[in-house]
Structure 1
Amino acid sequence: MEARGGKQDMEQQKLHTAACLKAFMLTNSTKTNLNLYDHLTRLLMRLMDERPPDAVDVIEDMSRDVKRALFVERQSTLRAAPHTAATQRLAERQRLLFTRGEEGDQEDELIETALPNVSEVGFYLEQAGVGLGREEMQRIFLALKQLVESQPLQHCRLWGKILGIESNYVIAEAEYREGEEEEEQSTEETAEEEREAETRDDEEESEAKEVSNPLPQSTYKPPPVVPKEANRTGVNKFVYYVCKEPGLPWVKLPSVTPAQITAARQIRKFFTGRLDAPIASYPPFPGNEANYLRAQIARISAGTHVSPQGFYQFGEEEGDEEEAIPRDSYEVNPDFEGIPVPEMVESLSTWVHHVQHILQQGRCTWVNLAAKPEEESYEEGDAEEKEEEPDEPEPEVGPSLLTPLSEDAELFHTPPWSTRISSTLTSQYAVAVLRSNLWPGAHAYVCGKKFENIYIGWGLKFAGDSYNPSVPPVPQKEYPSGPEITEALDPTLEEEEMLNAALEEQQAAQEELDDMDEEEEEGDDD
Structure 2
Amino acid sequence: MERKQDSSSEGTLQASALLKSAMLKQSSKTCLNLYDHLTRVLIKVMDEQPQDVVDVIEDISRDVKRALFEDKQSILRDLPQTTAAELLAEQQRPLFSRPEDNEQEDELQQETPLPNVSEIAFYLEQAGVGLGREEMQRIFLALKQLVELQELLRCRLWGKILGTVSSYIVAEAECREGEEEEEQITDEAAEEEERETETQESDENEMDPLPQSTYKPPPVVPKEPIGTGTNKCVYYVCKEPGLPWVKLPSVSPAQIAVARQIRKFFTGKLDAPVNSYPPFPGNEANYLRAQIARISAGTQVSPQGFFQTGEEGGDEEDESPRDSYEVNSDFEGVPVNEMSESLSTWVHHGHHILPQGRCTWINMAVNSEDSNEEGDAEEKEESDEPEPEVGPPLLTPLSQDEEIFNTPPWTSKMSSTLTPQHAVAVLRSNLWPGAFAYACGKKFENIYVGWGLKYAGEGYSPPLPPQPQREYPSDQEITEALDPSLEEEQALKEVLEEQQVAQEELEDTDEEDEDDG
Note closer, same or farther for the CA distance 1:421–1:186 as it changes in structure 2 (3 Å cut): same
Asked if the contact 1:431–1:446 (Cα under 8 Å) also holds between the matched residues in 2, the reply is yes
Provide the C-alpha distance between the structure 1 equivalents of 2:335 and 2:48, rounded to a whole number of angstroms: 80
Provide the C-alpha distance between the structure 2 equivalents of 1:327 and 1:242, rounded to a whole number of angstroms: 28
Provide the C-alpha distance between the structure 2 equivalents of 1:515 and 1:330, rounded to a whole number of angstroms: 98
Residue 106 (structure 1) aligns with = 104
Residue 92 (structure 1) aligns with = 90
Residue 27 (structure 1) aligns with = none
- Residues 138-217 of structure 1 correspond to what in structure 2 (within 5 A)? 138-179=137-178, 182-203=181-202, 205-206=204-205, 209-210=208-209, 215=211, 217=212
Asked if the contact 2:154–2:173 (Cα under 8 Å) also holds between the matched residues in 1, the reply is yes
Asked if the contact 1:39–1:67 (Cα under 8 Å) also holds between the matched residues in 2, the reply is no
User: Partner of 1:136: helix, strand, or coil?
Assistant: helix
Provide the C-alpha distance between the structure 1 equivalents of 2:51 and 2:141, rounded to a whole number of angstroms: 51
Q: 2:274 aligns with which of 275, 279, 288?
A: 279
Residue 8 (structure 2) aligns with = none
Q: Which amino acid is 1:99 matched to?
A: S
| TM-score (norm: length of structure 2) | 0.84
Cα deviation, residue 196, structure 1: 4.0
Q: Which amino acid is 1:473 matched to?
A: P
Provide the C-alpha distance between the structure 1 equivalents of 2:350 and 2:496, rounded to a whole number of angstroms: 82
Asked if the contact 2:340–2:425 (Cα under 8 Å) also holds between the matched residues in 1, the reply is yes
Note closer, same or farther for the CA distance 1:36–1:290 as it changes in structure 2 (3 Å cut): same
Cα deviation, residue 482, structure 1: 2.5
User: Partner of 2:290: helix, strand, or coil?
Assistant: helix
Provide the C-alpha distance between the structure 1 equivalents of 2:378 and 2:407, rounded to a whole number of angstroms: 53
- Asked if 1:238 corresponds to 2:233, the answer is yes
Residue 18 (structure 1) aligns with = none
Note closer, same or farther for the CA distance 1:133–1:207 as it changes in structure 2 (3 Å cut): same
Provide the C-alpha distance between the structure 2 equivalents of 1:406 and 1:343, rounded to a whole number of angstroms: 13
Cα deviation, residue 361, structure 1: 1.3
Asked if the contact 1:311–1:332 (Cα under 8 Å) also holds between the matched residues in 2, the reply is yes
Provide the C-alpha distance between the structure 1 equivalents of 2:81 and 2:46, rounded to a whole number of angstroms: 35
Asked if the contact 1:152–1:176 (Cα under 8 Å) also holds between the matched residues in 2, the reply is no
Provide the C-alpha distance between the structure 1 equivalents of 2:115 and 2:204, rounded to a whole number of angstroms: 55
Provide the C-alpha distance between the structure 1 equivalents of 2:175 and 2:186, rounded to a whole number of angstroms: 17
Provide the C-alpha distance between the structure 2 equivalents of 1:171 and 1:50, rounded to a whole number of angstroms: 71
Cα deviation, residue 506, structure 1: 1.1
- Residues 331-480 of structure 1 correspond to what in structure 2 (within 5 A)? 331-372=326-367, 376=371, 380-384=373-377, 391-480=384-473
Residue 15 (structure 1) aligns with = none
Residue 262 (structure 2) aligns with = 267
User: Partner of 2:497: helix, strand, or coil?
Assistant: helix
Note closer, same or farther for the CA distance 1:482–1:519 as it changes in structure 2 (3 Å cut): same
**Residues 307-316 or 418-427, more deviating:** 307-316
Residue 502 (structure 1) aligns with = 495
User: Partner of 1:254: helix, strand, or coil?
Assistant: coil
Residue 11 (structure 1) aligns with = none
Provide the C-alpha distance between the structure 1 equivalents of 2:65 and 2:98, rounded to a whole number of angstroms: 46
Q: Give 5+ residue unaligned stretches, structure 2.
A: 1-23, 25-30
Cα deviation, residue 519, structure 1: 2.4
Note closer, same or farther for the CA distance 1:283–1:364 as it changes in structure 2 (3 Å cut): same
User: Partner of 2:148: helix, strand, or coil?
Assistant: helix
Q: Which amino acid is 2:200 matched to?
A: D
* Residues 70-119 of structure 1, C-alpha deviations (whole Å, 9 max, x = no match): 679xx48x955634332332233233322222233322332122223211
Asked if the contact 1:43–1:66 (Cα under 8 Å) also holds between the matched residues in 2, the reply is no
Cα deviation, residue 193, structure 1: 2.8
User: Partner of 1:370: helix, strand, or coil?
Assistant: helix
**Residues 137-146 or 411-420, more deviating:** 137-146
Note closer, same or farther for the CA distance 1:410–1:46 as it changes in structure 2 (3 Å cut): farther
Provide the C-alpha distance between the structure 1 equivalents of 2:412 and 2:239, rounded to a whole number of angstroms: 31
- Residues 21-100 of structure 1 correspond to what in structure 2 (within 5 A)? 55-56=56-57, 58-59=59-60, 62-63=63-64, 66=67, 75=74, 79-80=77-78, 82-100=80-98
**Residues 148-157 or 313-322, more deviating:** 313-322
Q: Which amino acid is 2:99 matched to?
A: G
Provide the C-alpha distance between the structure 1 equivalents of 2:403 and 2:466, rounded to a whole number of angstroms: 28
User: Partner of 1:242: helix, strand, or coil?
Assistant: strand
Provide the C-alpha distance between the structure 1 equivalents of 2:509 and 2:269, rounded to a whole number of angstroms: 92
Cα deviation, residue 504, structure 1: 1.4
Q: Which amino acid is 1:456 matched to?
A: V
**Residues 424-433 or 300-309, more deviating:** 424-433
Asked if the contact 2:411–2:428 (Cα under 8 Å) also holds between the matched residues in 1, the reply is yes
Asked if the contact 1:242–1:253 (Cα under 8 Å) also holds between the matched residues in 2, the reply is yes
Provide the C-alpha distance between the structure 1 equivalents of 2:224 and 2:137, rounded to a whole number of angstroms: 35
**Residues 237-246 or 174-183, more deviating:** 174-183
Aligned residues with identical type, % of pairs: 66
- Asked if 1:327 corresponds to 2:326, the answer is no
Provide the C-alpha distance between the structure 1 equivalents of 2:50 and 2:238, rounded to a whole number of angstroms: 57
**Residues 237-246 or 428-437, more deviating:** 237-246
Asked if the contact 1:115–1:156 (Cα under 8 Å) also holds between the matched residues in 2, the reply is yes
Note closer, same or farther for the CA distance 1:43–1:221 as it changes in structure 2 (3 Å cut): farther
Note closer, same or farther for the CA distance 1:197–1:45 as it changes in structure 2 (3 Å cut): farther
Note closer, same or farther for the CA distance 1:457–1:376 as it changes in structure 2 (3 Å cut): closer
Number of residue-to-residue matches in the alignment = 492
Note closer, same or farther for the CA distance 1:184–1:369 as it changes in structure 2 (3 Å cut): closer
Note closer, same or farther for the CA distance 1:272–1:311 as it changes in structure 2 (3 Å cut): same
* Residues 396-440 of structure 1, C-alpha deviations (whole Å, 9 max, x = no match): 111121111111111111111111111112111111111111111
Note closer, same or farther for the CA distance 1:60–1:193 as it changes in structure 2 (3 Å cut): farther
Q: 1:250 aligns with which of 213, 237, 245?
A: 245
Q: Which amino acid is 1:462 matched to?
A: Y
Cα deviation, residue 62, structure 1: 4.3
Provide the C-alpha distance between the structure 2 equivalents of 1:473 and 1:395, rounded to a whole number of angstroms: 26
Residue 517 (structure 1) aligns with = 510
Q: Which amino acid is 2:450 matched to?
A: G
Q: Which amino acid is 2:322 matched to?
A: R
Note closer, same or farther for the CA distance 1:487–1:49 as it changes in structure 2 (3 Å cut): farther
User: Partner of 2:153: helix, strand, or coil?
Assistant: strand
Cα deviation, residue 251, structure 1: 2.0
Cα deviation, residue 483, structure 1: 3.4
Note closer, same or farther for the CA distance 1:497–1:167 as it changes in structure 2 (3 Å cut): same
Aligned residues: CA RMSD: 3.5
**Residues 390-399 or 171-180, more deviating:** 171-180
Note closer, same or farther for the CA distance 1:49–1:488 as it changes in structure 2 (3 Å cut): farther
Note closer, same or farther for the CA distance 1:184–1:62 as it changes in structure 2 (3 Å cut): farther
Residue 228 (structure 1) aligns with = 223
Q: Give 5+ residue unaligned stretches, structure 1.
A: 1-23, 25-30
Asked if the contact 2:319–2:360 (Cα under 8 Å) also holds between the matched residues in 1, the reply is no
